[in-house]
């Protein structure tokens, strides 16, 4: 039988059918088993080629994507995330209602982060006022790329604030990530932070006693929610005047949850080797030993209450003749029955003596050196809303000033900002 030579192009265009015809011509009467083997081999090669092609294409699309395990509320979840794109991580892991903003839209909203739009400077970066295209005003926190805790704070803020809803907690609207830029977008608070009024000689008069009393109650309600009423027990760890924002009606909202921690289940205490917080607001057990709990926030709340009453900073007040820091000075006045002397003179006589004395009493109970002597936020809310009196506060010995009577340990501090939003890092021994 004359064999016919086939052109290669003819073979490639004919596919499997041509291969079968060729096999019949060339093989003649050979056994069918050889044909089956040949067809099987061809199919195997085709499938293998398709698999290799698919793997290469998938790898190119993923661009280095890898599986990582993340932990949320104690539950481990495996997700696909890009090694270099935090935005993809957020989009797949955090709540669906969180808005992921385009970086160019934030540039337009803040006029390229113009200094005239700067609202303040926090420990992790500046905050800018912005106006979105639809006309809504926002506050944009631009996390510093040089901050070692920037990414962790970024994740912490989104995870906590987006899952905690209370009228005395600031509301996060979304975020934006582009290369090294990490932005958090919050509701805009027109009256900025409490410290911009409280410690300004010309503006503190705006805070009459009714406003100050409302601010104290609002902060207490926010902390009560974090410690007891929320389905999570959250320790803020950086409660201070610059982290209390004021809305258009001067209602307070707790902000900046970058250092906050969740305490699981019935656990009451946590320990950390890196003590991070703000000088003057940290409790003794946290500053000295790295131990924090809800009582750490209670201590910070007590400092806040006494500062709100007096318009005096805990970190800068000092009586040379008596060698007293602010907390010891407040206790001395209380102990002598002269607690009203602590009241800001700008208030003149336009305050309720009973309300002031109640707040001084609560503030001094909160700053007790021993955490066990401090009330819980449940106790505090009850004392503020009723005539119930708590125990007599002991004289606070721990103070942040380097006084002669109470010398303080020397800390190695790193100041991350130039104003009161100072982050202090103390390495655990």
Instruction: Compute how many other C-beta atoms are within 10 angstroms of the C-beta atom of residue 50.
Output: 10
Give the list of residues 6+ apart from residue 361 with CB closer than 8 angstroms, or none.
Answer: 334, 339, 383, 389, 390, 393
Q: Give residue-wise pLDDT tens across range 47-84.
A: 777 777 667 665 545 443 333 333 333 322 332 333 34
Tens of pLDDT, residue by residue over 144-168, are 766 555 677 777 777 777 778 899 9
pLDDT surpasses 50 at 6? no
Please, what sign has the CA dihedral across residues 270, 237, 264, 376?
A: positive
In the chain, where the domains are located: 1-46, 67-187, 195-427
Phi and psi, residue 333, nearest 5°: -60, -45
Distance CA 42, CA 45 (A): 5
The residue whose two tokens read 């209380």 is 334
HSE value, Cβ hemisphere, 13 Å, CA-based, for 274: 8
3-state secondary structure of 19: helix
Give the best-scoring range by mean pLDDT among 66-70, 254-258, 323-327, 424-428: 254-258
What's the pLDDT at 88? 57
d(CA 298, CA 380): 9
Catalytic residue among 195, 238, 297, 344: 238
CB atoms within 10 A of CB 176: 22
Tell me the average pLDDT across 333-342: 94
**Mean pLDDT value across the chain:** 77
- In this structure, what token pair is assigned to residue 4? 């016919």
Do the domains 195-427 and 67-187 match in fold?
no
Regarding predicted confidence, which is higher, 366 or 154? 366
Q: Which pLDDT score, from 0 to 100, does residue 354 have?
A: 94
377/409: higher pLDDT? 377
Which residue bears the tokens 């073979």?
11
Q: How far is CA 195 from CA 28, 55, 107, in A?
A: 97, 57, 28
Q: What is the mean pLDDT of residues 83-103?
A: 64
273-300 average pLDDT score: 87
Lowest mean pLDDT among 34-48, 246-260, 276-290: 34-48
Task: Provide the greatest CA pair distance for the chain.
Answer: 126
8 Å CB contact between 278 and 263 = no
Residue with tokens 């006029």: 111
| The predicted structure's pLDDT at residue 231 | 82
pLDDT average, residue stretch 350-355: 93
Secondary structure (3-state) at 275: strand
Tell me what pLDDT residue 57 has: 63
**Options 3.40.50.720, 3.30.930.10, 3.30.200.20, 3.40.50.1370; CATH of 67-187:** 3.30.200.20
Quick check: is 229 catalytic?
Answer: no
End-to-end CA distance of the chain: 94
Tokens of 423: 């982050």
CA 346/CA 38 separation, integer angstroms: 99
Which pLDDT belongs to residue 89?
Answer: 53
DSSP states of 116-154 as a string? GGEEEEETTEEEEEEE-TTS-EEEEEEE-TT-TTHHHHH
> Which of the 8 DSSP states describes residue 399?
-
pLDDT attached to residue 177: 85
DSSP letter assigned to residue 400: S
Helix or strand holding residue 178 (H, E): strand 172-178
**DSSP-assigned letters across all residues of 301-334:** HHHHHHHHHH---TTT-EETTTTEEHHHHHHHHH
CATH fold for the domain made of 195-427: Transferase(Phosphotransferase); domain 1 (1.10.510)
Under 8 Å CB-to-CB from 352, ≥6 apart: which residues? 209, 213
Poorest-confidence range of 75-84, 88-97, 383-392?
Answer: 75-84
Q: Which positions ≥6 away from 207 have C-beta within 8 Å?
A: 197, 198, 215, 250, 308, 311
Spatial contact of 390 and 365, defined as CB atoms under 8 Å apart: yes
Determine the pLDDT at residue 179.
Answer: 80
Alpha-carbon distances of 158 from 155, 272, 275, rounded to whole Å? 5, 22, 22
């Amino acid at each position: 039988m004359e064999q016919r030579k086939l052109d290669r192009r003819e073979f490639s265009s004919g596919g499997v059918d041509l291969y079968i015809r060729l096999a019949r011509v060339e093989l003649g009467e050979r056994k069918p088993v050889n044909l089956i083997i040949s067809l099987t081999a061809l199919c195997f090669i085709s499938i293998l080629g398709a698999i290799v092609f698919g793997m290469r294409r998938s790898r190119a699309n993923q661009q280095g994507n890898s599986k990582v395990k993340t932990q949320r509320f104690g539950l481990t979840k495996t997700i696909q995330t890009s090694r270099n794109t935090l935005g993809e991580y957020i989009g797949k892991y955090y709540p669906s209602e969180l808005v992921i903003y385009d970086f160019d839209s934030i540039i337009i909203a803040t006029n390229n982060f113009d200094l005239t739009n700067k609202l303040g400077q926090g420990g992790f970066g500046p905050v800018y006022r912005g106006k979105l295209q639809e006309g809504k005003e926002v506050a944009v926190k631009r996390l510093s790329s040089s901050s070692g805790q920037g990414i962790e704070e970024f994740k912490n803020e989104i995870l906590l604030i987006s899952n905690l809803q209370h009228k005395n907690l600031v509301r996060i609207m979304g975020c934006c990530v582009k290369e090294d830029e990490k932005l958090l977008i919050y509701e805009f608070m027109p009256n900025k932070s409490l410290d911009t009024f409280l410690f300004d000689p010309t503006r503190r008069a705006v805070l009459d006693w009714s406003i100050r009393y409302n601010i104290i109650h609002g902060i207490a309600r926010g902390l009560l929610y974090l410690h007891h009423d929320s389905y999570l027990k959250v320790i803020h760890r950086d409660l201070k005047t610059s982290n209390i924002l004021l809305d258009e009606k001067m209602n307070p909202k707790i902000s900046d949850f970058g250092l906050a921690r969740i305490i699981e289940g019935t656990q009451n205490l946590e320990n950390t080797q890196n003590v991070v917080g703000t000088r003057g607001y940290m409790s003794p057990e946290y500053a000295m030993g790295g131990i924090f709990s809800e009582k750490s926030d209670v201590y910070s709340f007590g400092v806040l209450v006494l500062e709100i009453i007096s318009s005096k900073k805990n970190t800068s007040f000092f009586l040379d003749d008596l060698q007293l820091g602010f907390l010891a000075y407040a206790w001395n006045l209380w102990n002598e029955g002269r607690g009203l002397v602590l009241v800001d003179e700008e208030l003149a006589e336009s305050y309720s003596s009973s309300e002031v004395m109640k707040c001084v009493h609560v503030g001094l109970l909160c700053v007790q050196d021993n955490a066990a002597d401090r009330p819980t936020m449940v106790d505090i809310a009850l004392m503020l809303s009723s005539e119930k009196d708590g125990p007599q506060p002991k004289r606070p010995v721990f103070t942040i000033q380097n006084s002669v009577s109470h010398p303080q340990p020397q800390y190695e501090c790193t100041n991350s900002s130039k104003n009161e939003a100072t982050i202090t890092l103390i390495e655990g021994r």
